[in-house]
A and B are shown apart, each in its own frame.
Chain A
Amino acid sequence: MYRETDIIQSADQSPEGYMIINVGPQHPATHGVLHLVITLNGETIKKVEPHLGYIHRSIEKMCESLSYRQFIYVTSRMDYLSAHINNHACALCVEKGLQVEIPERAKVIRVLMDELTRIASHELWWGAMAMDLGAFTPFFHAFRERETINDIMEETCGARLTMNYMVPGGVMHDIHPNFQRRVKEFIQLYKSKIHEYDELVTGNIIFQNRMKGVGILSAEDAISYGCTGPVARGSGVSSDIRKVQPYEIYDKLQFDEVLETGCDSFARYLIRIKEMNQSIRIVEQLIDNIPEGDFQAKTKAVLKLPKGEFYTRVETARGELGVYIVSEGGTTPYRIKFRSPGFSNLSVLDKIARGGKIGDLIAMMGTLDLVIPDIDR
């Protein structure tokens, strides 16, 4: 796929001592098939150039031939760690077109699932990030909590990763009778274990030195590069869609948008740790207050969106996911665009990595929380 591009040719004329290394497509720290061509001077990074497309499935093109019910399942495969939230965004966008009001119970269930997904995603990120830095043990500790969430998901949605639980008009099944009990058990487990995260990783002097002061991303750059989610919030840019453009019932919930002004890798790290606590807070508010009623609004068997354009923004675990549907009035979307958070977060990597060491690059990639299928779509 990658043969010889300008960077190789330009490197031939580059100053003596520059070295070009391919990080990926198969590399332990890229968590997927991301391919970075990095130019080094010794250990110092001079340039990072991403090459994408190794896992591009052309989901946008695929969706053009799928009906409005069918295309939602594909989006689970984009950012597989926040599959629920991707599905949620699509369902919201279709509902916006259909002008369906969904039952209150479905809204609450959706938000609960979203927040559990967010916690699960951040758990995995935390483990993987520590592993990138060379500490293996946190990975397994993170999986203990993540698997509990996966079990809850499996019981209610029938799958652990790509659930396809959100459908236009509500959710596919009602929640499982055990759901509330098990979520409460999970909250107990989470609260009894969260301090270990600080003991093992956050407070560790080696970890802090690896993270503090590296990968500086100023607020202006974060905005200009279109960074979203924890990456932008780590630079103090308020960008939580749940706050700035609330959807579902987020405007009625008590939670804080976590902001850090450190602008470095450590700030981005702290954001995600604190965000997990906020998500727990949301789950705690909702878990005993799931209203009775239908879990799905009545919709027609064949959905047809009116001619027009529909755009929804939701906050996934990685940032803002935008779903842009152009409809010509048929049963399939005329054009779908997914504005994925990873794509714009990746574009900033070259900016923040320059001047750092190879180890810093790995740490920065960890704090950007890249999911490659989300970037490539």
Chain B
Amino acid sequence: MKIVPVKKYISDVFGAIKSLATGMKRTMYYFTHHKEIITQQYPDNRNTLELPERFKGEVVMPHDENNEHRCTGCQACELACPNGTIKVIFKNELTPEGKKKKAIDKLVYHLELCTMCNLCVEACPSDAIKMAQTFEHSVFDRSKLTKVLNNPGSKIMEGVE
């Protein structure tokens, strides 16, 4: 057992009180300075909430005003996906010349499997798919997470090969 000299004992006590007071001063500063509050009130600021344009929320396929997309059905995204999130289903279409042409029927996207790694978007040679900035994905039924990316009746844009 070690005996502590009285002087050190007293200076220990005062040093301890001082260190505690420093911390209390800091918390008191924040207690009185409400401008420092950083909370975002999420569901309330939904209308003003802006996510960065690169935010990876889900994969979407943009369509233009004629309901045309840029997907050629090359399956590059399907191959690039590590989780089998994307499935390309084909159909045979007749071109105006009467030739048979392979085109996508459905581009099925399983949001529940997606890890938002962006590899499919990177792999796409014709920029047909991109990442959307949505993030409120919860649904009550799992089947709703399986999405078809191309709109019904849509077809491939002219000039995209």
Contacts and interface: CB of A to CB of B under 8 A. Distances in A.
Task: Let me know if chains A and B touch directly in the complex, using CB atoms closer than 8 Å.
Answer: yes
Contact of A164 (B15, B27, B117, B123): B117
Given A159-B56, A199-B25, A199-B26, A66 B19 contact: no
Contact of B54 (A155, A162, A203): A155
A154 B119 contact: no
Contact of A154 (B22, B23, B52, B80): B52
Main secondary structure of the interface of A (DSSP, over half): helix
Given A73-B117, A204-B19, A173 B54 contact: yes
A19 interface: no
B155 to A, nearest CB: 27
A285 interface: no
Interface string A157-182: 11100101001000011001000000
Given A70-B80, A144-B38, A159 B55 contact: yes
Interface in A222-252: none
A185 interface: no
Interface residues of B, number: 26
Nearest to A73: B117
Contacts of B52: 154-155, 158, 176
Q: B22, B81, B131: which has the most chain A beta carbons within 10 Å?
A: B22
Q: Which 9 A-B pairs have the closest CB atoms?
A: A70-B82, A73-B117, A158-B54, A205-B16, A158-B56, A155-B52, A164-B117, A205-B19, A199-B26
17 contacts: A69-B80, A70-B81, A70-B119, A74-B82, A144-B38, A154-B54, A156-B54, A158-B55, A158-B131, A162-B115, A162-B116, A164-B118, A200-B23, A201-B23, A203-B22, A203-B23, A205-B20
Interface of A: 66, 69-71, 73-74, 137, 144, 147, 154-159, 162, 164, 167, 172-173, 176, 196, 199-201, 203-206, 208, 301
Interface of B: 15-16, 19-20, 22-23, 25-27, 38, 51-52, 54-56, 80-82, 115-119, 122-123, 131
